[in-house]
Amino acid sequence: MLFTLYPTITQNYFILCFVACLGILQWAAARKHNPVLSLSGRRGLGRPGQGIGLFLVCGSFGWFFAVTPGLFAPGLAGGELSSLFVTAGLCALLVTRLAAIVWNLFSPF
């Protein structure tokens, strides 16, 4: 596997996938008014949460293409990209669920 040959691209791709998945989860939670997936509790539901989710997705892609050196040089292959995406997506879901549990536990309303 090329994970060790291209550590910068691998790390950047993982961060891209993690933040983009986090943004999609926030957008979906805000759209469906689901506080179980919202990082900011009930205050992040509706339009503000959708804006935060959209910002996270667009910001992650903008950051990735701005800072990744040699993006179009030979790098990670399809299987490696898929495994990084699945891992980052699961991590984003885990972080979202844990943050929502903590938020709801300590939220006064």
Question: Which tens digits make up the pLDDT trace of 42-99?
Answer: 665 777 778 888 999 999 999 988 888 776 666 667 778 888 889 999 999 999 888 8
**Helix or strand holding residue 60 (H, E):** helix 47-67
Quote the pLDDT of residue 101. 82
**Side chain identity, residue 80:** E
Quote the pLDDT of residue 42. 64
Out of 2-6, 35-39, 86-90, the most confident range is 86-90
Nearest to 15 by CA among 94, 80, 88, 90: 88
pTM of the model: 0.82
Residue 57: both structure tokens together: 């997705």
Quote the pLDDT of residue 89. 93
Under 8 Å between Cβ of 28 and 34: yes
